[in-house]
A and B are shown apart, each in its own frame.
Chain A
Amino acid sequence: MEVNGLLFTLEALMIACIFGFIYGFLLQKADFCFVASFRDWVSVRDTRVGKGMLVLMATAVLGWGIALTFGMGQASVAHIWSLDIGLTNLLGGFLFGIGMTIAGSCASGALYRAGMGYIQFWIVILAMLVGNVLFAYVYDPYAIDYVLEPLTWTDGITLYDVLPIPYLLLSALIVSLILVPTLLRFGWHGFWHGVKNTFQDFKDGNMLTKSHWDIRFVGFVMGVAATAQFVLLSSISITGPETRIAGTILSFIIGEEHILNNLYFSTLFAQHPTVGLGPEEFLVIFVIVGAFVSALLSKSFKIRVPRLNRLPYPIIGGLLMGIASRIAPGCNIANVVAGVGGLSVHSFIAMLGMACGIFVVTAYVFKMPIMLFQKDPFKM
């Protein structure tokens, strides 16, 4: 069955599970953390994770450009994830940035760490689902006239649609915005040295059982996988499917009709034959499975119970992420990979919001321990 381009077949389900497994496996192998990519640069000028994210974005942009140019599979401008543009993107992104910094992980980070045995991130995921449901039931009936539509400026735009530049050339120009400063900073020799270092981890031993892969290598492979998913299935997203998972769970308690009577949930399930899990939801679940297998192979799986005094962080951070992901809309993965890959304007605004949110919490809250340390009269 096909509804609005999204396939609901056993084959699509299996493809989605495979992609989810690959993402989970890769995220775990590199400890790929979107919060860390910006937070660590702000707090300690560490760029290791940031480099991985830049490689991922560049690969996705170039991949989308190639897929659109050659009209591969499902790839078309009409299938690009491009949503309404407005203050919602900035506000939602900002709150999401704050939420993920407090929670200690982004939407994808929570999934792969849950697969590694961190109970803390199961709590983050649960709190996100509660946040999704809260948003849906506050939106309809209380906030329907006050959020989303009033804060929206215009319909979604992708630069592929509005700029009179061939797709491949446009994507190459965008990638050059990342590559040129890198080359100016490190030179050709430094750049090539960096590319060679990307494969350092694979020189000896079994790749599958190694506990760490270079994050730039993982960023590249994830970008290729995300492009293949765009061609074969749909754009990658996490929090939209998570909201449908929350709606499905809730439907078992209060009934399917109550879910479909809610305007927000009914919009989210509009492409589904019924209230239930589709390929994208199974993809999300299989991110956890992929991370679990990866952690088992490298012997890094362990049930890790959080300290009681840490519980406010996953609960508050997760709730905020759940609500904010509905306002933005979308999480780090959808906006940074599918949105930027498809050159969707709303995603660039959401990313700016996320960066501001991470900056505010990192610069003014998480630097407090160091500030307090330095004020300690017994320091010396």
Chain B
Amino acid sequence: MSMSQAELEALHIDHEVDGMGEVCPHTLNIALAALKKAQSGEIVVESTDHSIATKTVPAAVQMNGIADVLGIVESNGTYHIYMKKK
């Protein structure tokens, strides 16, 4: 599932987590901590400036059936990873 930037930015965000300045694997740990708090169907967005996390976080949560990745928005070197908890 991949949504357009406009669609993603229009979503209601339930949990926003700050992964700025963190590198793998802590970027994933931060996302997992937020997903743990979230209820099924809620939207979790992680902000990160670590480009590698834009591959590892989505792959890890999808591979393990934790969340669907709705898309990633990039702006001036900051990435926002949109996830919907299963």
Contact = CB atoms under 8 A, between A and B. Distances in A.
B14 to A, nearest CB: 16
A374 B56 contact: no
A66 to B, nearest CB: 32
Nearest to B29: A369
A97 interface: no
Interface string A238-278: 00000000000000000000000000000000000000000
Range class of the B interface residue count: 20 to 34
A79 to B, nearest CB: 34
B34 to A, nearest CB: 11
Interface residues of A, number: 35
Given A299-B76, A310-B26, A43 B51 contact: no
A43 B60 contact: yes
B24 A304 contact: no
A120 B32 CA distance: 22
B12 to A, nearest CB: 21
Interface stretch (A45-53, A133-141, A142-150, A155-163): A45-53
B66 interface: yes
A39 B28 CA distance: 13
Contact of B32 (A45, A298, A373): A373
Contacts of A288: none
14 contacts: A43-B60, A44-B63, A46-B55, A46-B59, A49-B52, A104-B24, A105-B23, A118-B21, A211-B77, A298-B77, A299-B77, A304-B21, A305-B21, A373-B35
Interface of B: 20-26, 28-29, 32, 35-36, 40, 49-52, 55-56, 59-60, 63-64, 66, 76-77
Given A40-B56, A306-B21, 14 more contacts: A43-B56, A43-B60, A44-B60, A44-B63, A45-B59, A46-B56, A118-B23, A120-B21, A302-B21, A302-B49, A310-B22, A369-B25, A373-B32, A376-B36
